[in-house]
Amino acid sequence: MQKCRRLRYLLLLIISVFLISGNLYSQDNIDYSKQKDLKDVIRKVFGSKKDSIDPRLKFSEKREASFTFLPGISYNPATAFVLGFNATKSWYLGTSKITNNSSANLAASYTTKNQFKFSLQQNVFTDDNKINFQGDARLWLFAQNTYGLGSATKPDDIQDMDFNLIRFNENILMSAKKNLYMGIGYSLEYYYKISTVDSSGIFKYPNHHNTYSKLHGLDSTKSISSGPVLNFYYDSRDNTVNAYKGAVVDLKYYNYNTIFGSHSNWQKITLDARVYKSLNEKKSLKLAAWVMGSWVLNGRPPYLSLTSTGWDKYNTSGRGFIQGRFRGRQFLYGEIENRIDITSDGFIGMVLFANATTASDPDSNIKLFDSVEPAGGIGIRIKFDKYSRTNIGIDYAIGNYGSSGIFMSIGEFF
């Protein structure tokens, strides 16, 4: 009951942020000539000539693309040590005054847990925001821990899963009115070579995935979810990479059906809502809030297609817990983050954040809010590109049951 109250208070706080948003600063009066990023530091160190173009014309007049490429080694609790690269691009397909900036993220990596990941996500706006293209494509040869369904699972429920994933989600939306879009899309999730192994790599039976699949009459070695998507999308953010003001609400209806090659018929609704506000005129203090939910309406969804921690579009939810830690037929997540510029030029910043997760498992009679798992932490931000507002993020977060980890990103986590 106490955990239930905690999440309700968090959700109430997030709703309050929406309600008071009109009273906070929203003027776009940033003077980029007084901002500093990592590229400025590199140019200064190596003595390069300063850009002669007025920084304020970077996007609005010249519409030059901002490109970020970072190879390197990192660490994540779900993957251990990672060797790979992350490339992001931000650009305009129209005048910036009437067109949102488009963004794309390409990443590839190999981990010390023998995981290979290749991902491409994009959010593209045509001139005057007439058409919006949203995409998420992945090829993952992956291994990950799973704990069963619901948010009441314990660390001792851990099991190791191996699987490969091909995902292709693409949506095309048309502008209905200012900031509001409606459209259709297609979603494919193909999981194959699924197995659960023990610490010696030997097949483990029974296991969470096999037991669930048998109960619902599903194949325990592979699954295909394929079908159309209806999409309603609202986006008033001033920047899609790192918003200082505005909100985004993404509502999707998925209809996976055997007609489209799906192994089973099932339907779900997903909601992703975020709000951003500057708390002072200099934009040095910002507040961001995020609510994400997924509700299976009917049918027999595959185990791995059920929403879980860290499996959102950019794999950023649930800092403080390992990816896949909580999974459920119904899933609700809330997070709030305070973003603070430490230096007056915006080069160094920090964040304070807290989140909470709840998930259901009807097979065990576990409902949403029966168990709520909180987490939170602190992080540092280094401005990589001031024009696109791209930051390098390094966060430390802790969760329940002694869970903790270091989480890294290019761009904000939400």
* Among the listed residues 316, 5, 333, 305, the one whose alpha carbon sits nearest the alpha carbon of residue 149: 305
Among 46-55, 62-71, 192-201, 298-307, which is the least confidently predicted range? 46-55
Cα(357)–Cα(256) distance, integer angstroms: 25
Q: Which amino acid is at 331?
A: F
Say which DSSP state 400 is in: G
Written as one string, the DSSP assignment of 276-318 is EEESSTTS-EEEEEEEEEEEEEEE---GGGS-BTT-STTS-S-
pLDDT digits (tens, 9 = 90+) for 318-365: 999 999 999 999 999 999 999 999 999 999 999 999 999 999 999 999
SS3 assignment, position 217: coil
Cα(45)–Cα(39) distance, integer angstroms: 10
368 pLDDT above the threshold of 80:
yes
pTM score, whole prediction: 0.85
CATH code linked to domain 2-55+114-410: 2.40.160.50
Domain extent listing, the chain: 2-55+114-410
Residues forming a β-bridge with 230? 184, 253
17 pLDDT above the threshold of 70:
no
Say which DSSP state 49 is in: P
Name the pLDDT band for 35 (thresholds 50, 70, 90). confident
Name the pLDDT band for 75 (thresholds 50, 70, 90). low
Residue matched to tokens 């986006």: 235
